[in-house]
């Protein structure tokens, strides 16, 4: 089945631009050739102009506000019949330092697709955990609204992706003995919640997408999609097909991995294709 369009999401840790790092980021994105891409943790609006130098065939939009980190979206010029960018400030969820959701609605072959890029509250503390739950609930409200516009339950095409920071809950403190919800349990709960919304978590090439000090890894980045949408199978993992390709530190070892983590990002990118 031929792909309708492709998309990529990547948390580029504290992305402030700079010619050398920008070249490395562009070199990571270009071979994947996404029709839409979103970069999280953009900390300098000048990155927008720099990205235009490397991606002249794309149009761009960036969230804005008092927060330090923003979301930058790019989409291939001429690919879509229409593209509308909207900031969804309701996803700041009780934390004024959070960036809004970045919603790109595109029309292709007469059908509308809505891609919501999110970078949710980070941390295993109770406020951050609660804010994530609130943000996930708002996804449900958006899904219902989009379905209503499209003609009824399950009719709307919604894709939610980004760094959802599913790292669990430590309470009342932040030490191991205070763990109440593991990261794996939060991921499972998010999947169950997606199914309640008539959505599905897409299978990834690797679970872990973030790498920290001490060789610690976590499954923080995800793609959720409306149930009726189909996606290209990009390979198999443990004999089962996956729809989300994970690229970055996962393919590297030793000094090469250390270099990627230090010079580019501690997250790997996610790539998928709507079929």
HSE at residue 153, side-chain half, CA atoms within 13 A, is 4
Q: Where are the domains of the chain?
A: 5-274
Q: What is the rounded distance in angstroms from the CA atom of residue 235 to the CA atom of residue 6?
A: 15
Q: What is the mean pLDDT of residues 216-221?
A: 97
User: Does the pLDDT value for residue 95 go beyond 90?
Assistant: no
Q: What is the rounded distance in angstroms from the CA atom of residue 100 to the CA atom of residue 92?
A: 5
**What is the model's pLDDT at position 52?**
82
**What is the model's pLDDT at position 274?**
98
CA-angle at 99, arms to 13 and 78, nearest 5°: 80
**What is the model's pLDDT at position 262?**
94
Coil/strand/helix, residue 138 = helix
pLDDT bucket at 154, cuts 50 / 70 / 90? confident
Q: What is the rounded distance in angstroms from the CA atom of residue 183 to the CA atom of residue 58?
A: 36
Q: What is the mean pLDDT of residues 14-26?
A: 88
Q: 5-274, which class in CATH?
A: alpha beta
Computed over every residue of the chain, the mean pLDDT equals: 94
User: Does the pLDDT value for residue 207 go beyond 90?
Assistant: yes
pTM over 0.75: yes
Q: What is the mean pLDDT of residues 30-49?
A: 91
CA-angle at 65, arms to 117 and 161, nearest 5°: 5
pLDDT bucket at 111, cuts 50 / 70 / 90? very high
- Report pLDDT digits (tens) over 231-263: 999 999 999 999 999 999 999 999 999 999 999
Sign of CA dihedral 27, 32, 33, 35: negative
pLDDT bucket at 26, cuts 50 / 70 / 90? very high
Residues 6+ apart with CB under 8 A from 191: 201
User: Does the pLDDT value for residue 101 go beyond 70?
Assistant: yes
Share of the chain above pLDDT 70, in %: 100
pLDDT bucket at 1, cuts 50 / 70 / 90? low
pLDDT bucket at 116, cuts 50 / 70 / 90? very high
User: Does the pLDDT value for residue 208 go beyond 90?
Assistant: yes
pLDDT bucket at 174, cuts 50 / 70 / 90? confident
User: Does the pLDDT value for residue 67 go beyond 90?
Assistant: no
Q: What is the mean pLDDT of residues 180-203?
A: 96
User: Does the pLDDT value for residue 117 go beyond 90?
Assistant: yes
């Amino acid at each position: 089945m031929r792909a309708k369009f492709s998309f990529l999401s990547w948390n580029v840790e504290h992305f402030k631009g700079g010619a050398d790092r920008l070249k490395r980021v562009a070199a990571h994105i270009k071979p994947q050739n996404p029709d839409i891409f979103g970069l999280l943790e953009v900390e300098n609006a000048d990155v927008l102009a720099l990205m235009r130098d490397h991606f002249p065939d794309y149009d761009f939009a960036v969230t804005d506000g008092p927060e330090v980190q923003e979301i930058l979206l790019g989409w291939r010029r001429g690919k879509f019949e229409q593209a509308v960018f909207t900031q969804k400030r309701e996803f700041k969820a009780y934390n004024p330092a959070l960036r809004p959701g970045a919603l790109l609605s595109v029309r292709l072959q007469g059908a509308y697709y809505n891609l919501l890029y999110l970078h949710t509250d980070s941390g295993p503390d109770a406020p951050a955990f609660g804010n994530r739950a609130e943000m996930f609930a708002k996804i449900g409200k958006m899904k219902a609204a989009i379905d209503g516009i499209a003609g009824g339950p399950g009719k709307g095409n919604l894709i939610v992706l980004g760094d959802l920071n599913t790292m669990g809950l430590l309470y009342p403190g932040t030490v191991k003995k205070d763990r109440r919800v593991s990261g794996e349990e939060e991921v499972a709960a998010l999947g169950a919640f997606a199914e309640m919304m008539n959505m599905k978590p897409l299978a990834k090439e690797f679970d872990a997408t973030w790498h920290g000090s001490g060789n610690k890894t976590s499954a923080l980045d995800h793609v959720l999609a409306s149930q009726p949408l189909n996606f290209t199978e990009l390979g198999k993992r443990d004999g089962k097909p996956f729809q989300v390709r994970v690229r970055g530190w996962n393919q590297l070892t030793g000094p090469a991995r250390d270099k990627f983590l230090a010079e580019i990002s501690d997250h790997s990118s996610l790539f998928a294709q709507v079929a």
